[in-house]
Amino acid sequence: MQRRQRGVSTGLLFLFYEISQVGFQNIPPVTLGILALNIILFLNPLGALSEVCISVNESFYRKNWQRLLLSPVHHADDRHLYFNMVSMLWKGIMLERKLGSIWLAYIIAVFSVLTGVVYMVLEYVLAEILDDPSYKMSCAVGFSGVLFALKVLNNHYHPGRFSNVLGMQISSKYVCWVELVAIHLISPGSSFAGHLAGILVGLMYTVGPLKKIMKACAGI
φ, ψ of residue 20 to 5 degrees: the values are -65, -30
Residue from 83, 66, 65 nearest 75 by CA: 83
- 3-class secondary-structure state, position 218: coil
Burial zone of 131 (CB within 10 Å; 0-12 exposed, 13-18 middle, 19+ buried): exposed
The kind and range of the H/E element at 170 are strand 168-171
- Look up 158 and say whether it is catalytic: no
Q: Kindly report the number of other CB atoms within 10 A of residue 95's CB atom.
A: 24
Burial zone of 43 (CB within 10 Å; 0-12 exposed, 13-18 middle, 19+ buried): exposed
Residue of 55, 59, 112, 144 marked active site: 144
3-state helix, strand, coil in the chain (%, to 5): 70, 5, 25
Residue of 74, 75, 80, 195 marked active site: 195
- Look up 195 and say whether it is catalytic: yes
For the annotated catalytic residues, the residue numbers are 144, 195
